[in-house]
Amino acid sequence: MQSIEDIELLHLIRAGDQKAFERCFNRHWAVLYAFAWKILGSADDAKDVVQLVYISLWSRRERLNIKGPLENYLLQAVRFQSLKKLQEIMNRPEELDRVQEYILPVLNDIWEKMEEADVFREIDEQLNSLPVKTREIFLLSRRHHLSIAEIAQKLNLSEKTVRNQLHMALKALRHHIAVAMLLVEFIS
């Protein structure tokens, strides 16, 4: 149920009241930013996601029909935008180091806590469908926490080959990994 303050604030925002929008922004910014940062592990990406949510809120203000607490609605929007951002990040080869350093360790923690969850079985099934060398490189990265240089040395491959193979694995698994990352909020 929405608080009286949320109802009043939304009514003013729907009417185009910029001061009410600014109050909403100031009231919820810190919580939304912290939530996005926890999912994405990047201050810049977290700011971008929260700004997108507020831009969307303002552009759709006349059509807003929010049931329940305003903060819950905004957190749901941040979660959705964060999922989109994760998929975008995992699809860019230049982000491979970041995925390797931040996203995969978080995924490992989740994996340990929820080994039986359907989404992780789907990731394992998807992983088993990868070419043998690609799967081996991904598992060395994920399970053994080896760097790209260490994997290249261990398998006698160039770092570029390892990067390409990791990128292929992440591209194949990105949807399932993004969904798993969002589960962090439910288990932490």
Domain regions of the chain by residue span: 4-90, 93-187
What is the DSSP code (8-state) at residue 2? -
CB neighbourhood size of 81 (10 A): 22
pLDDT value of residue 50: 95
**Mean pLDDT, all residues of the chain:** 79
pLDDT value of residue 145: 81
What's the helix, strand, coil split of the chain in %, to 5? 80, 0, 20
How would you class 83 by CB atoms within 10 Å of its CB: exposed for 0-12, middle for 13-18, buried for 19 or more? middle
Per-residue confidence band for 171, with pLDDT thresholds at 50, 70 and 90: confident
The CATH number of domain 93-187, selected from 1.20.120.10, 3.40.50.10860, 1.10.10.10, 1.10.10.60? 1.10.10.10
pLDDT value of residue 121: 64
Over 80: is that where the pLDDT of 31 sits?
A: yes
With vertex at residue 183, the alpha carbon angle to CA 114 and CA 7, rounded to the nearest 5 degrees, is 145
Over 80: is that where the pLDDT of 101 sits?
A: no
pLDDT value of residue 108: 61
**Topology classification of domain 4-90:** Rna Polymerase Sigma Factor; Chain: A (1.10.1740)
Over 50: is that where the pLDDT of 186 sits?
A: no
